[in-house]
């Protein structure tokens, strides 16, 4: 009797859960999901946790297929040669294939005082620590939110709607992803909520203290609670394991999401850098990337050639409190258009998006293979660019006894092309 094929999925976020569920299509595949928490975190609701309107967690029984074994632990090293994952608790898991889906989190702000006096919000634990600090602050105490991307905007609006005196420090432009029309709509809503927006040259934070934030132009803002949403980082597990990463630590893969070092390792979600041209960190990309990663593993098991990446975007949705939002439409290459939806209709759409991401995982758990989001888009600018750079070839058919290389002579893709 043949033993089951062992697949370990490291990371239980949107991408990891999607991949784990999808892998259960084959009865001869034993799937183990390694995650440091016993519950699924809705990262796109963490600003609501801080504001007190949602707990931002879901029981894994609601989103994870019954055939997936959940191991609550943290992976500390991947031994690619020995095909083993070492866990912080002392155990080790052997694997035949591995899905690397460790996600993303807060980055080192590298600003004097920020590590001591500013509070990040990228993880459940960080948001849980921040919530009581906000709740304990006097009603009129100044709250400063640093960073004017989606998380910063959503957090500022959420706290302002709760009655807090909020200042949003942009460090540049408000909502740099947004089209000018969408940016004006966000600005109007923030103003209506009473948020003071500090943007433009000289608004990068130079220092953080216990009761203040100092800007590059010399201004000092009072701040009883400082929330830090600027920047992002990824766990260094791949780098510590000797795998090839990009400058930010994401695992470098080809367009089938296969590691350039090892055909048995695929990546998905925020921690993946396909062709060193990573997609925007978002649940919009994470779910389809998880499905793609699982399909690559299943293709290799079957001896088939894995399909290449065809993920695209439709836009970016930002809540502006509980009663308003802005949905910024984009082309599939993730460049914002002049079209947006605002107000209460956008708030309803944002809530539908939040619920649908969880439903998508639950549907895949009940019916593995049902997700088609990673196949919605035809080839476009990404594929044309990769072909021009000589990096758009598919991975070779399964060769379980050998590492698979990649063309590492390709130039690093530009941030502009990546939609950043």
| 198-221 pLDDT per residue, tens | 999 999 999 999 999 999 999 999
DSSP-assigned beta bridge partners for residue 302: none
Place of tokens 């975007």: 313
- What average pLDDT does the segment 134-150 reach? 96
* More reliable by pLDDT, 410 or 212: 212
Residue from 390, 384, 382, 370 nearest 417 by CA: 382
Distance linking the first and last C-alpha atoms of the chain: 51
Q: What is the mean pLDDT of residues 385-408?
A: 45
Report whether pLDDT(410) > 70: no
pLDDT, residue 44, reads: 96
What's the CA gap between 32 and 17, in Å, rounded? 11
Mean pLDDT calculated for residue range 125-133: 97
Angstrom CA distances, 395 to 145, 292, 375, 379, stand at 44, 13, 18, 17
Whole-number pLDDT of residue 364: 97
Determine the average pLDDT of the residues in 165-191.
Answer: 97
Q: Which residues pair with 175 in a beta bridge?
A: none
How much is the pLDDT for 381?
Answer: 75
Residue 409 has pLDDT above 70, yes or no: no
Which of 387, 384, 390, 381 is CA-nearest to residue 408? 390
Which helix (H) or strand (E) is 30 found in, with range?
strand 29-35
Task: Please say if the pLDDT value at position 395 is more than 80.
Answer: no
Mean per-residue pLDDT over the chain, rounded? 91
Confidence of residue 2 (pLDDT cuts 50, 70, 90): low
């Amino acid at each position: 009797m043949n033993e089951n094929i062992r697949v370990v999925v490291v990371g239980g976020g949107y991408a990891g859960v999607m991949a784990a569920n999808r892998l259960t299509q084959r009865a001869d595949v034993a799937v183990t999901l390694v995650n440091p928490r016993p519950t699924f975190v809705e990262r796109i609701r963490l600003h609501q946790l801080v504001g007190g309107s949602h707990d931002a967690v879901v029981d894994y029984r609601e989103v994870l297929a019954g055939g997936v074994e959940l191991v609550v632990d943290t992976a500390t090293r991947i031994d690619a040669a020995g095909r083993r994952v070492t866990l912080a608790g002392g155990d080790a898991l052997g694997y035949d294939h591995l899905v690397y889906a460790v996600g993303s989190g807060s980055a080192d702000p590298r600003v004097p005082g920020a590590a001591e006096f500013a509070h990040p919000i990228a993880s459940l634990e960080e948001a849980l620590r921040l919530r009581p600090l906000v709740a304990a602050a006097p009603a009129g105490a100044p709250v400063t939110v640093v960073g004017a991307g989606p998380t910063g905007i959503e957090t500022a609006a959420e706290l302002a709607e709760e009655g807090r005196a909020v200042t949003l420090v942009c460090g540049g432009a408000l909502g740099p992803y947004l089209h000018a029309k969408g940016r004006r709509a966000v600005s109007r809503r923030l103003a209506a909520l009473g948020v003071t927006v500090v943007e433009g040259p000289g608004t990068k934070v130079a220092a953080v203290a216990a009761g203040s934030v100092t800007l590059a132009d010399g201004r000092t803002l009072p701040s009883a609670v400082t929330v830090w949403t600027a920047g992002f980082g990824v766990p260094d597990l791949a780098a510590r394991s000797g795998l090839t990463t990009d400058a930010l630590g994401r695992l470098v893969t080809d367009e089938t999401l296969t590691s350039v070092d090892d055909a048995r390792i695929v990546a998905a979600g925020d921690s993946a850098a396909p062709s060193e041209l990573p997609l925007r960190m978002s649940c919009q990309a994470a779910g389809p990337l998880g499905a793609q990663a699982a399909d690559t593993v299943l293709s290799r098991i079957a001896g088939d050639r894995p399909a290449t990446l065809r993920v695209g975007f439709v836009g970016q949705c930002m809540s502006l409190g509980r009663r308003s939002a802005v949905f910024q439409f984009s082309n599939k290459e993730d460049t914002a258009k002049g079209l947006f939806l605002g107000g209460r209709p956008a708030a309803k759409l944002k809530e539908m998006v939040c619920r649908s991401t969880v439903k998508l995982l639950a549907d895949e758990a009940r019916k593995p293979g049902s997700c088609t989001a990673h196949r919605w888009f035809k080839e476009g600018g990404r594929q044309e660019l990769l072909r021009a750079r000589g990096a758009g070839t598919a991975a070779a058919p399964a060769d379980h006894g050998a590492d698979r290389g990649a063309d590492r002579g390709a130039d690093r893709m530009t941030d502009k092309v990546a939609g950043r």
